[in-house]
């Protein structure tokens, strides 16, 4: 009896240990982690869906522009005239994009604003899935591919993604076009050029990455982009005439209504506008508009020079994703208006940086990359409701108002450093 009891207890202990070992293996399995992370991401996205409301969204700009095109053949009918009094501009819905986006949004003009917003949210989720899939593929990172579910979760909970989905922005679409352009560049140059052209015609600044292809190749992507852009302009002019483009130039580019100094604007122009140009968003350190614009122009030229200086990887038939990321980050810095939601595009340099660090482990670069991405995820309204909110909008304290600009600058610097590294020939 005693021996059998011992045997039974021992067998049970072994069984428990085996079960514990099995659970340990399961919980450490990448597949288990990935599916748990994916489930958490879906739960989070469901919560974001519950917060979406037409009362607080940017999509109504695109929806109204589509209605304006259909009814008036001009997407800028409800955009305030230049120098219109603020009280007169409030009830109007401004459309700050080139006309192409209004043409693309025409199908939404046949549904209500609320229904359109919900449909656009669903489409944005599909675009987000495509963006993540392409970034995982082009990065060629073993870590990123092994833990793809964690990438999905981190991307889903990142504040720029949440802002993009809640506001109904086109930032995920633009990021997907940028990633798709690189993905297709060395497979289908013509298709890559079409994506490049569409990005530039939805918002002008994505055209900056065309310089990457002129500098690093294949140049035919830039030429196809120019051809596709000109062809699109000719077709739209034939269908809608010159009025939409005339109004875009008059009301948007030269209208001066855009709030460059708002804290959501994570760009060099926004940074120096907050510091040196009087506005209703902040009390600058000094009222020197000319100096502010001059400093912004000097910073933009510096970024452009650094992009060109980063060079191309001559040891390979095609430049690395790190080189492309230099131009992508530079694009976000030099854009006059770069909402925090546009930082979803940093998934591209993030995955490129991880791959580079896999091949060349460098602790200092890993630290700066993580720090830059963390700061870039600081939402622009982080100080809302805090007792020092007004202080942060006054004088030198403005430097702490939008930490994301420093994060973007740090990621840009890391990408330039990696691109210029002597051992960059081994980074693909």
C-alpha to C-alpha distance for 291 and 36, rounded to whole angstroms: 52
pLDDT at residue 15 in the model: 56
- C-alpha distances in angstroms, 208 versus 326, 332, 399? 11, 9, 27
C-alpha dihedral over 141, 316, 349, 369, to 10 degrees? 80
C-alpha to C-alpha distance for 416 and 311, rounded to whole angstroms: 9
pLDDT at residue 88 in the model: 45
Question: pLDDT 10s digit of each residue in the chain, 428 long?
Answer: 444 444 434 455 665 455 555 445 444 578 888 999 999 999 999 999 988 887 777 888 899 999 998 888 888 888 887 766 554 444 578 888 899 998 999 999 898 888 888 999 999 999 999 999 999 999 888 999 999 999 999 999 999 999 999 999 999 999 999 999 999 998 899 999 999 999 999 998 899 999 999 988 889 999 999 999 999 999 988 888 888 888 888 888 877 667 788 888 899 999 999 999 888 888 889 889 899 899 999 999 999 999 999 876 544 545 689 999 999 999 999 999 898 999 999 999 999 999 999 888 888 899 999 999 999 999 888 887 788 888 888 889 888 888 999 999 999 999 999 998 844 444 44
C-alpha to C-alpha distance for 397 and 391, rounded to whole angstroms: 7
Check: CB of residue 164 under 8 Å from CB of residue 341.
yes
C-alpha to C-alpha distance for 412 and 349, rounded to whole angstroms: 9
C-alpha to C-alpha distance for 330 and 327, rounded to whole angstroms: 5
Q: Which two tokens stand for residue 423?
A: 């051992």
- C-alpha distances in angstroms, 357 versus 153, 217, 346, 427? 21, 24, 16, 9
Helix 159-167 vs helix 113-139: crossing angle, to nearest 10: 150
C-alpha to C-alpha distance for 93 and 311, rounded to whole angstroms: 43
H helix count then E strand count, the chain: 21, 0
Helix 148-157 vs helix 113-139: crossing angle, to nearest 10: 140
Check: CB of residue 124 under 8 Å from CB of residue 165.
yes
C-alpha to C-alpha distance for 201 and 234, rounded to whole angstroms: 13
Other Cβ atoms less than 10 A from the Cβ of 31: the count is 10
C-alpha to C-alpha distance for 379 and 252, rounded to whole angstroms: 26
pLDDT at residue 241 in the model: 86
pTM for this predicted structure: 0.86
Other Cβ atoms less than 10 A from the Cβ of 285: the count is 15
C-alpha to C-alpha distance for 160 and 322, rounded to whole angstroms: 21
C-alpha to C-alpha distance for 278 and 255, rounded to whole angstroms: 18
Q: Which two tokens stand for residue 111?
A: 């549904």
Check: CB of residue 50 under 8 Å from CB of residue 221.
no
C-alpha to C-alpha distance for 206 and 331, rounded to whole angstroms: 7
Q: Which two tokens stand for residue 341?
A: 């939601």
Burial of 296 (0-12, 13-18, 19+ CB in 10 A): buried
The full DSSP string for 322-352 is HHHHHHHHHHHHH-S--BGGGGGGGHHHHHH
Backbone angles phi, psi at 312, to 5 degrees: -125, 160
pLDDT at residue 187 in the model: 87
- C-alpha distances in angstroms, 21 versus 8, 14, 30, 31, 34? 20, 10, 16, 17, 20
C-alpha dihedral over 14, 18, 20, 22, to 10 degrees? 180
C-alpha to C-alpha distance for 87 and 281, rounded to whole angstroms: 17
């Amino acid at each position: 009896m005693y021996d059998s009891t011992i045997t039974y207890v021992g067998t049970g202990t072994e069984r428990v240990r085996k079960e514990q070992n099995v659970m340990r293996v399961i919980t450490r399995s990448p597949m288990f982690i990935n599916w748990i992370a994916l489930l958490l991401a879906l739960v989070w996205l469901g919560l974001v869906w519950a917060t979406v409301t037409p009362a607080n969204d940017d999509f109504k700009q695109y929806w109204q522009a589509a209605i304006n095109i259909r009814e008036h053949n001009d997407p800028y009918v409800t955009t305030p005239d230049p120098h219109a009094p603020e009280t007169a501009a409030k009830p109007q819905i401004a459309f700050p994009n080139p006309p192409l986006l209004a043409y693309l949004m025409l199908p939404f003009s046949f549904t209500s604003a609320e229904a359109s917003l919900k449909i656009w949210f669903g489409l944005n989720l599909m675009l987000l899935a495509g963006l993540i899939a392409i970034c995982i593929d082009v990065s060629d990172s073993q870590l990123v591919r092994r833990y793809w579910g964690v990438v999905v979760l981190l991307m889903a909970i990142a504040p720029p993604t949440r802002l993009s989905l809640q506001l109904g922005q086109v930032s995920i679409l633009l990021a997907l076009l940028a990633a798709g352009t690189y993905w297709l560049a060395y497979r289908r140059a013509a298709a890559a050029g079409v994506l490049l052209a569409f990005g530039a015609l939805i918002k002008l600044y994505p055209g900056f990455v065309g310089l990457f292809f002129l500098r690093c190749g294949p140049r035919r992507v830039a030429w196809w982009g120019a051809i596709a852009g000109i062809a699109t302009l000719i077709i739209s002019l034939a269908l809608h005439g010159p009025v939409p483009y005339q109004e875009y130039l008059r009301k948007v580019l030269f209208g001066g209504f855009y709030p460059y100094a708002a804290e959501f604007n994570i760009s060099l122009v926004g940074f120096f506008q907050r510091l040196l140009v009087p506005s209703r968003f902040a009390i600058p350190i000094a009222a020197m508009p000319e100096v502010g614009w001059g400093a912004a122009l000097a910073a933009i030229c510096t970024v452009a020079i650094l992009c060109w200086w980063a060079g191309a990887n001559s040891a390979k038939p095609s430049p690395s994703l790190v080189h492309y990321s230099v131009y992508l980050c530079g694009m976000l810095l030099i854009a006059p208006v770069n909402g925090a939601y546009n930082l979803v595009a940093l998934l591209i340099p993030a995955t490129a940086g991880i791959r580079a660090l896999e091949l060349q482990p460098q602790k200092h670069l890993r630290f700066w990359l993580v720090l830059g991405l963390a700061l870039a995820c600081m939402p622009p309204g982080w100080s809302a409701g805090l007792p020092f909110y007004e202080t942060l909008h006054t004088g030198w304290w403005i430097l702490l108002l939008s930490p994301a600009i420093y994060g973007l600058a740090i990621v840009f610097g890391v990408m330039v450093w990696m691109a210029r590294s002597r051992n960059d020939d081994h980074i693909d």
